[in-house]
């Protein structure tokens, strides 16, 4: 014990310095370890953010539905154009965003910029949104994408589905080197110019508007007879239908039209829009529009004094 005390008294200063150095080394090591951990955590967070952003603003080249694969140039140009549209909407640059829409899209859904702002920008871009893209379908110069507008912080949500997110299908149209967009599930409009007739009733189908979940046929019906006719009694959705390949049938939403719209006086012409439950990417192609239960005398139909005379009109598409 005396030896230890003597050693302590003789070397006290050296011992204290050694202890202090060791303690300092331990403290430095702990600080360094904490700094490394924090840097690694920061790097991981940055990498996660980069991964989310990379996944959020994607540039898809392969179609989800078909085996179609875009070229690198098509992929880049298409995605950049859509990103520009979203950027304009985020910045509330309504004039610029509105000019990116096709004329058909404007006529179908947004005839004025104010309607576009009210029904699209204000509904989706109340706050800044990011987006995710999937290439869904391509045909000719039309590229249909499924776009998910993600609201909120990507690091918090991870891009996961949320009730505040908005899903849409948009179609990029490329014509004569110019890009335009169809939005809100509107795919495109096609000119048809098809005619059919029976018993003095003429039907002309001018065009159809194709949406993701349905098609609307724009047509004119001319009653050349001397009696008031009834085009449909509304008893069945298949009274107006599309007959397609693979023995498929697409019913109409004829119940949306009042009987007054389906009634034509003698020598009268009426323009009509009929909606059919035809999904855009259905494997079947419509070949014939069929109108059954067309009554040639509405008075006879109303009074039911005798079996009312009715016909079928078919228009090849």
Q: What is the pLDDT, as a whole number, of residue 233?
A: 84
Cα 182 to Cα 77, 133, 186, 189, distances in angstroms: 16, 15, 6, 10
In terms of residues, how long is the chain? Answer: 317
Closest by CA to 219, choosing from 242, 249, 199, 243, is 242
d(CA 236, CA 201): 21
Q: Which of 187-201, 210-224, 232-246 has the lowest mean pLDDT?
A: 232-246
Residue 110, C-beta contacts closer than 8 angstroms, at least 6 positions apart = 98, 101, 116, 119, 120
Q: What is the mean pLDDT of residues 13-39?
A: 68
Mean pLDDT taken over the chain: 84
Q: What is the pLDDT, as a whole number, of residue 198?
A: 96
108-124 pLDDT, tens digit each: 999 999 999 999 999 99
Residue 20 has pLDDT above 80, yes or no: no
Q: What is the pLDDT, as a whole number, of residue 47?
A: 47
- Strand partners for 209: 189, 216
Closest by CA to 282, choosing from 219, 218, 211, is 211
Q: What is the pLDDT, as a whole number, of residue 121?
A: 96
Q: What is the pTM of this model?
A: 0.77
Closest by CA to 232, choosing from 306, 290, 288, 295, is 295
d(CA 17, CA 4): 18
d(CA 40, CA 105): 49
Q: What is the pLDDT, as a whole number, of residue 182?
A: 98
Q: Coil, helix or strand for 237?
A: helix
Residue 128 has pLDDT above 70, yes or no: yes
Q: Which of 5-9, 152-156, 167-171, 235-239 has the lowest mean pLDDT?
A: 152-156
46-98 pLDDT, tens digit each: 444 444 333 434 588 877 777 788 888 889 999 999 999 999 999 999 999 99
**159 within 8 A of 55, measured Cβ to Cβ:** yes
Q: What is the mean pLDDT of residues 30-53?
A: 56
Copy the structure tokens of residue 303: 């009074």
Per-residue pLDDT band at 185 (split at 50, 70, 90): very high
Closest by CA to 242, choosing from 193, 295, 294, 285, is 285
End-to-end alpha carbon distance in the chain: 112
Q: What is the pLDDT, as a whole number, of residue 70?
A: 86
Cα 77 to Cα 91, 129, 199, 270, distances in angstroms: 21, 21, 53, 44
Q: What is the pLDDT, as a whole number, of residue 48?
A: 41
Q: What is the pLDDT, as a whole number, of residue 221?
A: 97
What burial class does residue 229 get, using C-beta atoms within 10 Å of its C-beta: 0-12 exposed, 13-18 middle, 19+ buried? buried
d(CA 294, CA 233): 8
201-215 pLDDT, tens digit each: 999 999 999 999 999
**223 within 8 A of 201, measured Cβ to Cβ:** yes
Closest by CA to 249, choosing from 263, 238, 236, is 238
Strand order, beta sheet including 166-175: 129-139, 142-151, 166-175, 178-182
């Amino acid at each position: 014990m005396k030896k230890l005390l003597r050693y302590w008294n003789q070397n006290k200063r050296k011992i204290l310095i050694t202890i202090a150095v060791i303690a300092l080394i331990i403290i430095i090591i702990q600080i360094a370890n904490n700094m490394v951990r924090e840097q690694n955590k920061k790097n991981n967070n940055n990498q996660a953010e980069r991964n989310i952003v990379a996944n959020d603003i994607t540039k898809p080249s392969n179609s989800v539905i078909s085996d179609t694969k875009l070229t690198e140039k098509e992929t880049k140009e298409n995605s950049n154009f859509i990103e520009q549209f979203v950027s304009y909407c985020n910045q509330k640059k309504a004039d610029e965003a509105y000019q990116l829409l096709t004329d058909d899209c404007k006529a179908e859904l947004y005839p004025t910029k104010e309607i576009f702002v009210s029904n699209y920008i204000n509904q989706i871009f109340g706050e800044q949104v990011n987006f995710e893209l999937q290439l869904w379908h391509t045909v000719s110069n039309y590229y249909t994408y499924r776009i998910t507008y993600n609201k909120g912080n990507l690091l918090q949500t991870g891009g996961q589905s949320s009730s505040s997110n908005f899903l849409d299908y948009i179609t990029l149209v490329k014509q004569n080197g110019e890009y335009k967009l169809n939005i809100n599930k509107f795919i495109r409009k096609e000119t048809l110019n098809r005619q059919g007739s029976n018993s003095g009733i003429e039907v002309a189908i001018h065009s159809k508007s194709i949406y993701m979940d349905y098609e609307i046929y724009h047509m004119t019906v001319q009653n050349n007879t001397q009696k008031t006719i009834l085009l449909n009694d509304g008893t069945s959705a298949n009274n107006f239908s599309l007959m397609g390949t693979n023995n498929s049938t697409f019913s109409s939403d004829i119940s949306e039209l009042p009987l007054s719209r389906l009634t034509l006086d003698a020598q009268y012409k009426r323009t009509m829009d009929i909606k059919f439950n035809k999904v855009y990417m259905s494997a079947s192609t419509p070949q014939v529009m069929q109108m059954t239960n067309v009554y040639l005398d509405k008075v006879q139909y109303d009074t039911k004094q005798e079996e009312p005379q009715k016909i079928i009109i078919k228009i090849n598409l």
